[in-house]
């Protein structure tokens, strides 16, 4: 039978567990659109320090050259880096020949919460339609915010006007608390709902040019590691590009 001192020591051992891991959370979002331009902005505010800010760029253009973001900057001087890119074209999209569609994901670490942070995106030439969706995520590893699993980022795209199912397969994560994000844009119109259990961050539909550029960003803050997972949207789309990734 333990003494009073031994019982107290046992009680202390029982109580003194390690910290419970916390899931990552969405911290603010904003979106904008522009037509027949080569630069545009979106303004984002967050509430937490040490967020990872994510920018989803989508653009559609008529004949000319492939679309690419040349630089991203913001008012507080954050360092923006490209995480991923899909460039489609020249291709026939809904009867329009030699069109281009591009989706890119950029990110920056914000040491402090941002208020009315104007994010400026410059691209390599003027395009028909541009959409921008920006959001913050708190609770990430700020030194290495993206999951390093070789299956990520995961990509899917369809350049022609034929509708196909929207989704990715074979996704694994190293993190046991992955913050999954999906960024998709299309030049056909219509936005299939996100995979089951996911939540929409923002939607931006721009029909100000020859075709359209419709974009959406969605997320799911999971509490378990992924292994060969499939993420399927609730419908099909044509002339689209999809990037699925995970914050660590």
With the CA atoms of 162, 198, 131 and 99 taken in that order, what torsion angle do they form, in degrees rounded to the nearest 10?
Answer: -20
- Range of the structural domain that residue 112 is part of: 23-247
Query: pLDDT for 149-170, tens place per residue?
Result: 999 999 999 887 677 788 999 9
Query: pLDDT for 172-231, tens place per residue?
Result: 999 999 999 999 998 877 778 999 999 999 999 898 777 788 999 999 999 999 999 999
Compute the distance between CA of residue 164 and CA of residue 212 in angstroms, rounded to an integer.
18
Per-residue buried b or exposed e for 146-160, using 16+ beta carbons within 10 Å of the residue's own CB: bbebebbbbebbbbe
Compute the distance between CA of residue 95 and CA of residue 74 in angstroms, rounded to an integer.
38
Within a domain: residue 89?
yes
CB 221 within 8 A of CB 170: no
Q: What is the model's pTM?
A: 0.88
Within a domain: residue 110?
yes
Within a domain: residue 183?
yes
Compute the distance between CA of residue 109 and CA of residue 137 in angstroms, rounded to an integer.
10
Compute the distance between CA of residue 123 and CA of residue 154 in angstroms, rounded to an integer.
24
Compute the distance between CA of residue 10 and CA of residue 8 in angstroms, rounded to an integer.
5
Number of domains the chain contains: 1
Within a domain: residue 107?
yes
Within a domain: residue 18?
no
Within a domain: residue 81?
yes
- Among 59, 27, 20, residue whose Cα is nearest residue 40: 59
- 4 pLDDT band (50/70/90 cuts)? very low
Query: pLDDT for 16-64, tens place per residue?
Result: 233 334 589 999 999 999 998 899 999 999 999 999 999 999 998 876 7
SS (H, E, C) 116-162: CEEEEEEEEEEEEEEEEEEEEEECCCCCCCECCCCCCCEEEEECCCC
Within a domain: residue 191?
yes
Within a domain: residue 3?
no
């Amino acid at each position: 039978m333990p003494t009073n001192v031994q019982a107290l020591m046992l009680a202390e051992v029982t109580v003194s567990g390690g910290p419970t891991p916390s899931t990552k959370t969405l911290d603010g979002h904003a979106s904008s659109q522009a037509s027949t331009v080569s630069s545009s902005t979106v303004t984002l505010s967050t509430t937490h320090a040490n967020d990872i800010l994510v920018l989803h760029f989508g653009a559609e253009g008529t004949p000319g050259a492939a679309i690419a973001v040349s630089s991203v900057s913001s008012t507080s001087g954050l360092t923006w880096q490209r995480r991923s890119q899909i460039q489609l074209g020249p291709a026939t999209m809904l009867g329009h020949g030699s069109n281009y569609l591009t989706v890119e994901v950029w990110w920056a670490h914000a040491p402090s919460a941002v208020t009315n942070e104007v994010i400026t995106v410059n691209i390599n030439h003027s395009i028909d339609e541009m959409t921008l969706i920006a959001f913050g995520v708190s609770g990430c590893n700020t030194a290495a915010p993206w999951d390093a699993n070789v299956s990520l980022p995961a990509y899917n795209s369809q350049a022609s006007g034929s509708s196909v199912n929207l989704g990715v397969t074979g996704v694994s994560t190293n993190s046991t608390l992955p913050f999954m994000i999906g960024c998709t844009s299309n030049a056909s119109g219509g936005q299939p709902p996100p995979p089951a259990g996911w939540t929409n961050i923002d939607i931006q539909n721009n029909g100000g040019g020859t075709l359209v550029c419709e974009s959406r960003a969605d997320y799911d803050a999971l509490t378990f590691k992924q292994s060969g997972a499939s993420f399927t949207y609730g419908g099909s789309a044509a002339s689209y590009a999809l990037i699925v990734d995970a914050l660590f």
